[in-house]
A and B are shown apart, each in its own frame.
Chain A
Amino acid sequence: MSVAVATPQTAEPVFHVVDEHAHPEGASTMLGFWLYLMSDCLIFAILFATYGVLGANYAAGPAPKDLFDLKLVAVNTAMLLLSSITYGFAMLEMARARVGATQLWLGITGLFGLAFLGIELYEFAHMIHEGATPQRSAFLSSFFTLVGTHGLHVTFGIVWLVTLMVQVARTGLIEANRRRLMCLSMFWHFLDVVWIGVFTFVYLLGTLR
């Protein structure tokens, strides 16, 4: 913060505060992270639009009805939904400054996330084994891009979750760690919101077609 003395000869010097007023550390992090999520939302919107345009072009290959196992998708959806509520519990424990309980719920959230990823990878492997690879048709290209991008987000969410668990274990629930956990909370719940779109538009509407 630099201060310029405009009129040194007068008795009362006039100060100009050139810099902005002081921001406490992290005051704008939440808004900034929200803006990132909104930009991420646009990425998913474009991938949804791509799937919407190309999703019916099977190139005489397998259609959603032949590939999707809705029971598996329902289990997957349950995993992600459960991970959302357990993350919520972690945030509640964090508000009560209970490190152990926070870590426990974060760990459970991570396990649900891993279960989700495992089921999704099993589904992908099964599809690819049956010849339904991303190269097979425009439908499969757009399907793997959209669902794969969501899966990648979940993967990085889990990496982030583990990182934060290590940080909380080392430094406790300090202000910076709370802020990071809140950002991850928004990220995690946001991925659940995107998944609502995926299971509705890709899996359920695909099976109906």
Chain B
Amino acid sequence: MTLNSPPVDAHGHDHGHEAHLAAHHHGTLKSYLIGFGLSVVLTAIPFWLVMGDVLGNKQATGLVIMAFAAVQIVVHMIYFLHMTTAAEEGWTMMALIFTIVMVVIALAGSLWVMHHLTTNMMPAHDMIRR
């Protein structure tokens, strides 16, 4: 099971492995604390908005808390999951983008189709009750 000549690692995996372990998966104390601080603020504000009924408008509150959730997800991705475009030669980001596309299609598609189904095919007894 040995080669006559020493195996040449054309892709430089040995170096890449070490560098990737060091660079990709450890944040610093500072980055974790920044992420935590941002998360606390981004969590506390939506709870405050809903529990205190601060805006007085349900639709506006709904949109604002969804925006906060989106920002907080990005914060977690960057500061806790250490997402970068360079990690794993970009494959992590590619997988993430693909997943986001799938999630958007699945969520938006389901909600859209089922909403129309409900409005157009609501059974008679349901209409009366509403």
Contact = CB atoms under 8 A, between A and B. Distances in A.
B85 interface: no
B99 A38 contact: yes
B50 A207 contact: yes
Given A15-B5, A189-B80, A208-B58, A53 B106 contact: no
Contact of B47 (A74, A92, A205): A74
A-side interface size class: 35 or more
Contacts of B96: 34, 38
Interface stretch (A19-27, A108-116, A122-130, A159-167): A19-27
A200 B1 contact: no
A25 B28 CA distance: 26
A32 to B, nearest CB: 10
B94 to A, nearest CB: 10
B81 A89 contact: no
A30 B32 contact: no
Interface string B1-37: 1111101111101101100110011111100110110
A176 to B, nearest CB: 12
A23 B13 contact: yes
Interface string B58-87: 100110011011001100110011000000
Given A30-B88, A46-B106, A200 B80 contact: no
A88 B80 contact: yes
Nearest to A48: B107
A208 B26 contact: no
A7 to B, nearest CB: 15
A192 B9 contact: no
A62 B129 CA distance: 16
A95 B106 CA distance: 39
A45 B13 contact: no
Contacts of A196: 43, 69, 72-73, 76
B110 interface: yes
Contact of A81 (B21, B39, B106, B110): B39
A168 interface: no
A200 B17 CA distance: 38
Contacts of B80: 84, 88, 189, 192
Given A38-B95, A70-B50, A204-B50, A192 B7 contact: no
Contacts of A21: 7-11, 13
In the A-B complex, the 10 residue pairs with the smallest Cβ-Cβ separation, listed nearest first, are A49-B110, A200-B69, A88-B32, A189-B80, A45-B103, A38-B99, A53-B114, A85-B36, A95-B26, A31-B88
13 contacts: A22-B13, A38-B98, A42-B103, A53-B111, A84-B80, A91-B26, A92-B27, A190-B81, A193-B73, A196-B43, A199-B43, A200-B66, A208-B61
Given A21-B8, A45-B107, 14 more contacts: A15-B4, A27-B13, A30-B25, A30-B88, A53-B111, A71-B51, A78-B43, A84-B36, A85-B35, A89-B29, A189-B76, A200-B66, A200-B69, A205-B62
